[in-house]
Amino acid sequence: MKLSHRIGIAASAVTLAAGVAAASAGPAAADSATRPSITSVVFGGYGGNGQSSPYVVLYGSGFGSSAPAGSSDNSNSCGTYTADGDVYGNQLYLVDDSNFEAGYSDANGADCVGVSVDYWSDTEVILYFGNAYASYQHWYLSNGDGFAVSVKGGIFGGTVSGLS
């Protein structure tokens, strides 16, 4: 994914977080009612290079009863992996600053790190990363990293914390 797309996602997350308190009635409010609302994100497990994937828990509303359709990310421009999870177009993905992105795909290709959904409900999603996670340079989460996550058009951003 292009850096400009990542910057746009991060900027959207910051704008969304800043605008939540200032939201007003009108067309924008009606549009946001159709999108999921991510209210908090919790990270757990280990951070850093050489570790297995941490889990990421998303809390909110409007996620729907099932995950969006994904496609296998076992073979991508970075190589062939076993159990690398899925990519979900623009329906489910996470960006860690400029370090890596997971779960996104478009006509130009797919992220090298896939996402696996462990649990999905209308108010909670639990996911982890595929086997490409932490396999190259800084393709891993660390406490203090900035992040943005998107579920079906809902965006939330912040700083990674809670990893061992």
Span 61-118, pLDDT tens digits: 999 999 999 999 999 999 999 999 999 999 999 999 979 999 999 999 999 999 999 9
Q: Record the tokens describing residue 35, joined without a space.
A: 């999108």
Give the Cα separation of 135 and 114 in Å (integer). 12
DSSP assignments along 36-86, one per residue: -EEEEEEEES--STT-PPPEEEEEEE---SSPPP-EE-SEETTEE-SS--E
How do the domains of the chain map onto residue ranges?
Answer: 3-159
Give the Cα separation of 62 and 83 in Å (integer). 28
**What is the number of residues in the chain?**
164
Element (H, E) at 151: strand 146-151
Q: Which of 11, 150, 9 is CA-nearest to residue 92?
A: 150
3-state helix, strand, coil in the chain (%, to 5): 15, 35, 50
Q: Is the pTM of this model over 0.85?
A: no
Span 122-161, pLDDT tens digits: 999 999 999 999 998 889 999 999 999 999 999 999 999 9
* Position 163 pLDDT exceeds 70: yes
pLDDT range class, residue 34, cuts 50, 70, 90: confident
> Is-contact 52 45, C-beta < 8 A?
yes
Give the Cα separation of 159 and 2 in Å (integer). 21
> Is-contact 151 61, C-beta < 8 A?
no
